[in-house]
Structure 1
């Protein structure tokens, strides 16, 4: 990394109180790419005059263009936060007094939206992004550190990503993104390799070779996805530090703006940054829940196919964090430097873990409505080794997807005919087969009342050449009736009448592990994990 300019005068100017009427104390935040100044309700973000292997902001003109790009790309997801680009101007001595000039009388803020044509070129010292300030303690990384994430953050985050991807525009040359991934692998190795006292060169080279090998294996898949419009102009930097909770809604900000190629990526690669960050923070249930809710909401078989690239995507994202942290070590204070060095090591370890996932397996969770199939499946899915856990396929969600209705919208009786149920089970098996072929472990969550349904699912595992295990949940009829009656906002339409009707079914010979669930979900999960060898 090279420093290409002295910006201390600008930073000192923006660090002064009194730039705005509220005269509030100024807070400064430094990152590897910017210096950010918080003034009351206002934020001014100045790009650092730096030249990294992945970021060139070495000239004033480049920083101006990058500031303009930041406004444009972030207004897609956070239109209320990004106000405009302002010039920082040098004024001559002896001019009229300006209440927003520095105490030296030399620098002043321009106006939002002023471009290079609106001010004399020799007057502009720097450009800054002007933002509306939000509560910086409400970013999701800080909420996570305090254990203060909302209870329903999994659903909210999945909905946020789905909205962002629906709004993401197509790019001119999507196939170019495939070659770019190999460049990122090499760039990550170069950045981390510059710190051999933190991570050995042998480990860096081994991770690089494993990643390039995975890229070569998935190249045809990645090209096909690019041609099928799965490559878009995405956020590109979707981790918890770049998401803030505003009015109980997660809002994406600080998208990649300095290089279009870095943000012109596969949708799953964009998602992978969020999943990796959650996993790295040990928020594994949230990571797995976002992963599965994204798949359910998009209702897209091609996303299942694309999961073969997920080990590469997740590993690359961890490698990016290792590289960026390593590149910015000089900006950490002595107090925070040891933690930053530890972060580099932990991200490399995570990248190594992701790039070499264990073989997949198929698990079935069956039983009557109300036995706790979905609750157990969600817990188990986050506990399955490999990636960010297992693909969770609940029949209730698949049935709603086939009907084209929202998860919590109640279906009419004709959606529960034997013919429709056969269609749902066929879809479950097809999706499970695709996910297993992609190297993903799978949990199928459905009643599976008939012996032929259970046998057909076991056959999916045999055809894929993976281990199979089935767990059959049981509870007293009164408990089941009580549970389904108490449900609110659930995907299942089952009520007490359905439970009583199911109780009269002839289940045949159930050979799966039998598990009583009248106790609490934690006890059930503990026993199930033991049965499954987790």
Structure 2
């Protein structure tokens, strides 16, 4: 017998504490652009939405299973004790859903160990509990990680072209009148970023030639860093290898930028220094500032995209956050001179 199970039905089932093999007092459901995450007392279960965008395709069950497996493989590099496996969501002959049970598989979920909220770096920064020793441990974890990464061969011209393409597309998107962003500021930032790529191309070419481009995390933000005993770093970009192919300095610059946005610029600076000392990788400050300016523009794009969704359309948070990122982008690109 064939059953068509909608996303809404799957979500409704997974919201129920009785749907899980372990005892669950309550279930917290969190929706993102691309998935639903269900938090029980001890675990987190991620269900990918059947969506298709320019940069990913989760529209079929086979694709979602493949991406679940890829998420497991990639995230075990930096959080091996967190990513436990993938579970099947199945429906039996009576039309009842079961998690990791018998029946016809209708979807797949990534099963993770739930991490303590108070140990996430963004929470610790906001509540003043993140200290220098924590940041140094994060730097050591990442230095070890990148040391084990194989260099990725890429043409230096192509490497710089990727930045230009993203700057152009970001400016076009952020210029939409509906977002109400300061276009003179945006234009000046993007022109300055292009000038760095054109006039200081050696900054980028030297990184490529030194073998410092790697398949990294792709989304290294404080909310993905857990300050537990071993330092667990979760939620890498499993859906795009291109977005994971980065200069190591790009990723560490991004994490420092996000610390700065959260009001912990000092911790971000300490992180950069600690990483450089531990890895013996000392990228020029102009390059660090370019990467931070570039990442801030990309994050501004992600912020305003929330306004395209009905539930976020009237929230002042996303335009405000985009403007914050534009100011960060302006500040950092000015330091590239």
Any conservation in 1 of the 2:307–2:313 contact (CA below 8 Å)?
no
Any conservation in 2 of the 1:174–1:232 contact (CA below 8 Å)?
no
Q: Post-superposition shift, 1:252? A: 1.0
Of stretches 215-224 and 307-316 in structure 1, the one that deviates more from structure 2 is 215-224
The DSSP-based 3-state class of the residue aligned with 2:231 is strand
Any conservation in 2 of the 1:174–1:231 contact (CA below 8 Å)?
no
Any conservation in 1 of the 2:253–2:288 contact (CA below 8 Å)?
yes
Q: Post-superposition shift, 1:151? A: 4.7
Please give the alpha-carbon distance, in whole angstroms, between the structure 2 residues aligned to 1:265 and 1:125.
35
Q: CA RMSD in A?
A: 2.7
Any conservation in 2 of the 1:195–1:326 contact (CA below 8 Å)?
no
> TM-score, normalization: structure 1?
0.57
The reply to whether residue 257 of structure 1 matches residue 238 of structure 2 is: yes
In the other structure, the counterpart of 2:96 is 106
Of stretches 334-343 and 42-51 in structure 1, the one that deviates more from structure 2 is 334-343
Q: Post-superposition shift, 1:293? A: 1.6
Q: Post-superposition shift, 1:36? A: 0.5
The reply to whether residue 73 of structure 1 matches residue 77 of structure 2 is: no
Any conservation in 1 of the 2:293–2:332 contact (CA below 8 Å)?
yes
In the other structure, the counterpart of 2:32 is 31
In the other structure, the counterpart of 1:234 is 216
Alpha-carbon displacement from aligned partner over 1:391-439 (angstroms, at most 9, x marks no partner): xxxxxxxxxxxxxxxxxxxxxxxxxxxxxxxxxxxxxxxxxxxxxxxxx
Alpha-carbon displacement from aligned partner over 1:319-342 (angstroms, at most 9, x marks no partner): 222112222345585699222321
Any conservation in 1 of the 2:306–2:313 contact (CA below 8 Å)?
no
In the other structure, the counterpart of 1:277 is 258
- Cα distance change of structure 1 residues 324 and 50 upon mapping to structure 2, 3 Å threshold: farther
Q: Post-superposition shift, 1:81? A: 0.3
In the other structure, the counterpart of 1:22 is 23
In the other structure, the counterpart of 1:163 is 144
The reply to whether residue 9 of structure 1 matches residue 29 of structure 2 is: no
Q: Post-superposition shift, 1:225? A: 1.7
Any conservation in 2 of the 1:318–1:350 contact (CA below 8 Å)?
yes
Q: Which runs of 5+ in 1 are unaligned?
A: 94-104, 112-118, 360-534
Higher relative contact order (CA 8 A, sep 6+): 2
The DSSP-based 3-state class of the residue aligned with 1:86 is strand
Q: Post-superposition shift, 1:54? A: 4.2
Pick the aligned partner of 1:206 from 182, 188, 211: 188
Pick the aligned partner of 1:342 from 316, 320, 324: 320
Pick the aligned partner of 2:167 from 163, 169, 185: 185
The DSSP-based 3-state class of the residue aligned with 1:255 is coil
- Cα distance change of structure 1 residues 332 and 228 upon mapping to structure 2, 3 Å threshold: farther
Aligned residues: 331
Please give the alpha-carbon distance, in whole angstroms, between the structure 1 residues aligned to 2:309 and 2:243.
23
In the other structure, the counterpart of 2:199 is 217
Please give the alpha-carbon distance, in whole angstroms, between the structure 1 residues aligned to 2:251 and 2:117.
23
Please give the alpha-carbon distance, in whole angstroms, between the structure 2 residues aligned to 1:203 and 1:56.
34
Q: Post-superposition shift, 1:349? A: 1.4
Greater gyration radius: 1
Any conservation in 2 of the 1:218–1:308 contact (CA below 8 Å)?
no
Please give the alpha-carbon distance, in whole angstroms, between the structure 1 residues aligned to 2:310 and 2:155.
37
Residues 469-488 of structure 1 mapped to structure 2, 5 A cutoff = none
Residues 110-509 of structure 1 mapped to structure 2, 5 A cutoff = 110=100, 123-171=104-152, 173=154, 175=156, 176-194=158-176, 196-247=178-229, 249-300=230-281, 303-304=282-283, 306-330=284-308, 333=311, 337-357=315-335
